[in-house]
């Protein structure tokens, strides 16, 4: 079944397209091979650039916001995941609907080299790096080799993949415990285990192999020295087809749980100007070494003054929002410009950062119950506003969060001139927000913002596990909110 919506008449191209110099491809219509808030985000960029947008949806997403906001929306099948993970089906649909480009967003097939290959085969511009670069950086052992060759420091580890448990144990003894056992094609916190001893490595090996095979279709794994309690710092880069590469400064992603990021900060309140410049230079060097084109992220671990390359993400990041807030650069717009064959709109010397921005991933989870997912119908949603507040989301009052996808409801972003003001604004914005019908992580984030260690700006990846007491919060509801919640519960029970 196809669902077609036309919201505005076609345009002859954006000002950027009309005034561009040199040989480039005018992008007039983009298929967004994703869902949720990132699909809505890309729709907005298309609207501002005079480009028509095409959404895709499964039956579970029939009433999703990205379907309502795009110029066109087309079904990709009844199964909740199969359509989003079928590269040929997505590219064929792009061709059928007259799209000259495809944006993969993040997650799903965003780092899938086959999708980029099929786009090239069918004459559809893939808004991202080349398939060759995706393969090279998606293979973490190959990425390590590329960085070593470019002079970018990496964590001590195996030269390549380990063939079996016997080799893994031998390498673990050589490297020294603790070690990280990682899936070569892993990402998003999956296919990774910390092993503190030979016994733990022997126990974890078959589990990581199984998880990697199911999640990424590859059983290859390797070992790295575990950098204990590091800071997790990543740098946003942009590269064009003319060999120009710039960094947009760094983000601090140290507040995470089980390798899943919760709160992101830009710039990091923990870096000196010298460290900031060093990491920025390393990121540009890394991108140039592999001929990187489009938006990407170079991730590092920082411990005891040493910086180690961790991985390169060949896509737009969930947390691109905070980089946009401190630099004023629209990263999705730049992605589309680069894919069009245009040069970067800015030079490194022109890029400045101002103030601090924080992003809170508001997940439908219950922190008081080991972060158990809390899917269901949203009975009331009110987005916070005011100076320096941004909300990227695909939810609305009455929307039912399906259990088939990520639990993130929205991304709440705040900006202010100082670190202290940004934290205070975050507290206020989280308090302003109303999201009822499901449990969320919002109140938990308020506890983090009140924590003296966090407020000092000195924290690392152990923060969440080191502060289990922060889940012992209580939510105080106003009388009218309690009445609304009871009414919603009664209505839901009655089937209204």
Alpha carbon distance 144, 156 (integer Å): 10
- Helix (H), strand (E), coil (C) string for the chain: CEECCCCCCCCCCCHHHHHCCCCCCCCCEEEECCCHHHHHHHHHHHHHHCCEEEEEECHHHCCCHHHHHCCEEEECCCCCCCHHHCHHHHHHHHHHCCCCEEECCCCCCCCCHHHHHHHHHHCCEECCCCHHHHHHHHCHHHHHHHHHHHCCCECCECCCCECCHHHHHHHHHHHCCCEEEEEEEEECCEEEEEECCHHHHHHHHHHHHHHHHHHHCCCCEEEEECCCCCEEEEEEEEECCCCCEEEEEEEEEEEEECCEEEEEEECCCCCCHHHHHHHHHHHHHHHHHCCCCEEEEEEEEEECCEEEEEEEECCCCCCHHHHHHHHCCCHHHHHHHHHCCCCCCCCHHHCCCCCEEEEEEEECEEHHHCCEECCEECCEEECCCCCCEEEEECCCCCCEECCCCCCEEEEEEEEECCHHHHHHHHHHHHHHCEEECCCCCHHHHHHHHHCHHHHCCCCCCCHHHHCHHHHCCCCCCCHHHHHHHHHHHHHHHHCC
- Could you tell me the two tokens for 316? 């737009």
Between the alpha carbon of residue 426 and those of residues 254, 295, 387, 431, 433, the distances in Å are 17, 27, 11, 8, 11
Question: Which residues are known to be catalytic?
Answer: 315
């Amino acid at each position: 079944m196809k669902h077609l919506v036309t919201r505005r008449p076609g345009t002859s191209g954006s000002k950027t397209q009309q005034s561009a110099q040199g040989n480039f491809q005018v992008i007039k219509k983009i298929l967004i091979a994703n869902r949720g808030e990132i699909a809505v985000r890309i729709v907005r960029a298309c609207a501002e650039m005079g480009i028509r947008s095409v959404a895709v949806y499964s039956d579970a997403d029939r009433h999703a916001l990205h379907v309502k906001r795009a110029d066109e929306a087309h079904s990709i099948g009844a199964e909740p995941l199969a359509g989003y993970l079928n590269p040929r089906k997505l590219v064929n649909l792009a061709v059928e609907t007259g799209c000259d480009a495809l944006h993969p967003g993040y997650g799903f097939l965003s780092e899938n080299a086959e999708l980029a290959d099929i786009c090239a085969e069918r004459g559809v511009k893939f808004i991202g790096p080349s398939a060759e670069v995706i393969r090279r950086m998606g293979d973490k052992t190959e990425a390590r080799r590329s960085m070593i060759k470019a002079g970018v420091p990496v964590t001590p580890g195996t030269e390549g993949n380990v063939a079996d448990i016997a080799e893994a144990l031998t390498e673990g003894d050589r490297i020294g415990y603790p070690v990280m056992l990682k899936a070569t094609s892993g990402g998003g916190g999956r296919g990774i285990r910390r092993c503190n001893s030979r016994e733990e490595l022997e126990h974890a090996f078959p589990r990581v192999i199984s998880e990697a095979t199911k999640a990424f279709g590859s059983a290859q794994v390797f070992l790295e020295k575990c950098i204990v309690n590091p800071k997790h710092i990543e740098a946003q880069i942009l590269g064009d087809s003319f060999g120009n590469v710039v960094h947009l400064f760094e983000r601090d992603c140290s507040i995470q749980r089980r390798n899943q990021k919760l709160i992101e900060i830009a710039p990091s309140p923990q870096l000196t100007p010298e460290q900031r410049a060093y990491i920025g230079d390393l990121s540009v060097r890394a991108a140039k070494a592999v001929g990187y084109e489009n938006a990407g992220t170079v991730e590092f671990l920082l411990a005891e003054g040493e910086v180690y390359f961790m991985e390169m993400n060949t896509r737009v990041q969930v947390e691109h929002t905070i980089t946009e807030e401190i630099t004023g650069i629209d990263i999705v717009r730049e992605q589309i410009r680069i894919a069009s064959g245009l040069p970067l709109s800015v030079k490194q010397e022109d890029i400045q950062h101002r103030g601090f921005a924080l992003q809170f991933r508001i997940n439908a989870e219950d922190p008081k119950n080991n972060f158990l997912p809390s899917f269901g119908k949203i009975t009331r949603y009110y987005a916070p506003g005011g100076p320096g507040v941004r909300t990227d989301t695909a939810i609305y009052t009455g929307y039912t969060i399906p259990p088939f996808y990520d639990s993130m409801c929205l991304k709440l972003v705040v900006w202010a001139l100082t670190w202290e003001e940004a934290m205070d604004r975050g507290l206020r914005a989280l308090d302003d927000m109303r999201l009822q019908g499901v449990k969320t992580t919002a109140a938990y984030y308020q506890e983090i913002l009140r924590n003296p260690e966090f407020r000092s700006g000195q924290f690392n990846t152990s923060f969440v596990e080191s502060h289990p007491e922060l889940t012992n919060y209580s939510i105080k509801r106003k009388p009218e909110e309690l009445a609304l919640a009871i009414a919603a519960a009664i209505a839901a029970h009655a089937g209204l």
